[in-house]
Structure 1
Amino acid sequence: MSNLEGINLAMQTPLNADGAIDFAVFERLIEDYIAAGVQGLVLGAGTGQHPYLTEDECNRLYEAGIKQIAGRVNVICQTSALNMDEVIRRSRHAENSGANALMILPPYLEGPDDEDGLFAFYREIDAAVGIDIVGYNIPQSTGIAVSVPLLLRLKELRNYRWIKDSAGDFTTHQEYLQTGIDVLNGCDTTTFAALMAGTKGVIWGAANYMPHEAAKLYGLITARDLEAALVLWQKMLPSLLFIWRNPYVPAVLRAAELRGFGTGNVRRPLQRLTAAQDAALQKALAPLMVDGPL
């Protein structure tokens, strides 16, 4: 069983100007993020433009990333797909490559949305793999919400030990915590509150552009130095509010580029921020730029 407590950085997939994965930058970012003090890296996350990567690209990305990380931090690989056989194939490949856990979306886009269908989906994957599954609640993207009663059923599966909650509904998040399953926060703007409420850790896209601050925030909260944690949080919050209300992946990647992490490039059909959005992002980042990385 995996211990995914702490900051699991939902890692970007750096791209060249032509849209190809830049593995040299990818490996350099891994070193930067580990040096910043995060506890885990999520490869092929939504922030890593997973929907726009091929299965072969994901496999090569995971192989290279796991080799580079070399056990220094946890590795979570997203193996979501629309086709059931592909989910299992991707999942087994990631497991065989050395992943510590798998992050898997529910069967979105006209898949089953009733609770029996969702349970059957994860039960089949659970039987096919031997490492932890991180379920994923992000109804604003999938159209499917994981209810508390369903979560209670899922936690009885052998490998379904974690759920990433990116919905932003803090009431539901706290209900998840009452079930006894290990919860990872995925909503950038509720990170402080979630950690205060007892969430084990986070899968955090914004950590791509502020890895030092993310790691320090977690350390301050776990040490119960809450006054210092709140001061740091207030510097982080303006940019978090911006990325949550604007094109998320382009905003995170551009913020990372501005702070010296990655290329900022997106893959079609994603587009870069407009000039107005870019200016607003830079204003939101200003509190973080005063002192530079921690």
Structure 2
Amino acid sequence: MADLKGINLAMQTPFDGNGVIDFAVFEKLIDQYVEAGVHGLVLGAGTGQHPYLTEVECNRLYEVGAKRIAGRCNVICQTSALNMDEVIRRSQHAESVGAQALMILPPYFEGPSDDDGIFEFYRAVDAVVGTDIVGYNIPQATGISVSPQLLERLFQLKNFNYIKDSAGDFTVHQEFLQKSGTVLNGADPTTVYALMAGARGVIWGAANYMPTEAVELYDLVIGGKYEQALALWQRMLPSILFIWRAPYTPSVLRAAQLRGYGTGNVRRPLRKLSADQEALLRKSLEALDV
């Protein structure tokens, strides 16, 4: 079982102005994030615009990313897809290039939403992979909520060893933690509190624009320096609250670009921020540079 503790950065996919993946920038970003001290990189993450990448593009990201990372931190690949056979293909390819874990959404968009149906989906994937599975609870995007009772069943599968919880319901998050210590927080505004409550780590989109601060926050919490952690959190919070309410991925990518990470470009149908949103984003980032 892989140890996914710490800051697992939900990595952006850099595009050029025409919406083509810029692999040179991608490799540079990997180096920047590894040098910042992140514990893992999630390739093909939601923040990496996974829904708008083809299977071929995702596979190439896994290949290039794993090779560039070269064991310097954990490699987590999102292998979600609507088609079951595609989930399996993506997962097995990610395994073949050295992924330590596979992040997989439940069968979203008119798939089975009952506990038995979701369990059977993950059981089928579990049966054909040998790599850790990170389940993904993000009901605001999928319409599917993983209950604490279902999570307890899922943890009985051989490879289902983690859950990424992006719901933002801290009560449920703590119920998850009662089932296992291998919970990864994915809701930006609860990050510091989830770590204090015992989350093993985070899969964090906002770390794209503040990787050094994210690692520092984790280190402070793990070191029991809660007062210093909360002081740092107050500097991070204005931008976190902004991105959580604004168009998330365009905000994160633009913030990253402004702070020296990536191109800031999104792929259609996503759009760049409006002028008003841009002004608010810039204002929210000022606290990080104090």
Under TM normalisation by the shorter chain, which class is it? over 0.9
1:243 is aligned to 2:243: yes
What amino acid is aligned across from residue 223 of structure 2 in structure 1?
A
| Contact 2:41-2:73 at 8 Å conserved across structures | yes
Shift of 1:180: 1.9
1:86 alignment counterpart: 86
Deviates more, 1:209-218 or 1:219-228: 219-228
CA distance in structure 1 between the partners assigned to 2:10 and 2:217 by the alignment: 16
Deviation readout 1:96-139 (Å, 9 max, x if unpaired): 11000000000000000011100000000000100100000000
1:153 alignment counterpart: 153
| Contact 2:119-2:154 at 8 Å conserved across structures | yes
CA distance in structure 2 between the partners assigned to 1:172 and 1:229 by the alignment: 23
Aligned partner of residue 16 in structure 2, secondary structure: coil
Shift of 1:227: 1.4
| Contact 1:14-1:264 at 8 Å conserved across structures | yes
| Contact 1:108-1:143 at 8 Å conserved across structures | yes
Shift of 1:181: 4.9
CA distance in structure 1 between the partners assigned to 2:220 and 2:181 by the alignment: 24
| Contact 2:79-2:102 at 8 Å conserved across structures | yes
What amino acid is aligned across from residue 117 of structure 2 in structure 1?
G
Deviation readout 1:179-207 (Å, 9 max, x if unpaired): 12510000000001000000010000000
How many matched pairs? Answer: 290
1:8 alignment counterpart: 8
CA distance in structure 2 between the partners assigned to 1:220 and 1:177 by the alignment: 20
Deviation readout 1:68-107 (Å, 9 max, x if unpaired): 0001100100000000000000000000110000000000
Aligned partner of residue 48 in structure 1, secondary structure: coil
1:104 alignment counterpart: 104
CA distance in structure 2 between the partners assigned to 1:81 and 1:24 by the alignment: 26
| Contact 1:161-1:181 at 8 Å conserved across structures | no
CA distance in structure 2 between the partners assigned to 1:31 and 1:63 by the alignment: 15
CA distance in structure 2 between the partners assigned to 1:278 and 1:106 by the alignment: 33
CA distance in structure 1 between the partners assigned to 2:150 and 2:258 by the alignment: 41
Moved beyond 3 Å, runs of 4+: none
TM, length-normalised to structure 2: 0.99
Aligned partner of residue 128 in structure 1, secondary structure: coil
2:271 alignment counterpart: 271
CA distance in structure 2 between the partners assigned to 1:274 and 1:86 by the alignment: 36
Aligned partner of residue 62 in structure 1, secondary structure: helix
| Contact 1:165-1:183 at 8 Å conserved across structures | yes
2:54 alignment counterpart: 54
1:32 alignment counterpart: 32
2:194 alignment counterpart: 194
1:216 alignment counterpart: 216
2:166 alignment counterpart: 166
Deviates more, 1:224-233 or 1:82-91: 224-233
CA distance in structure 1 between the partners assigned to 2:250 and 2:77 by the alignment: 21
| Contact 1:155-1:181 at 8 Å conserved across structures | no
Q: Considering only aligned residues, what root-mean-square deviation do their CA atoms show, in Å?
A: 0.5
Shift of 1:228: 1.1
CA distance in structure 1 between the partners assigned to 2:142 and 2:181 by the alignment: 22
CA distance in structure 1 between the partners assigned to 2:9 and 2:87 by the alignment: 22
CA distance in structure 2 between the partners assigned to 1:205 and 1:150 by the alignment: 26
What amino acid is aligned across from residue 244 of structure 2 in structure 1?
W
Shift of 1:226: 1.2
| Contact 1:6-1:202 at 8 Å conserved across structures | yes
Deviation readout 1:207-264 (Å, 9 max, x if unpaired): 0000000000000110111111111100000000000001000000000010010000
| Identity value in percent | 71
1:207 is aligned to 2:216: no
CA distance in structure 1 between the partners assigned to 2:180 and 2:209 by the alignment: 32
Deviation readout 1:156-201 (Å, 9 max, x if unpaired): 0000000000000000000000012510000000001000000010
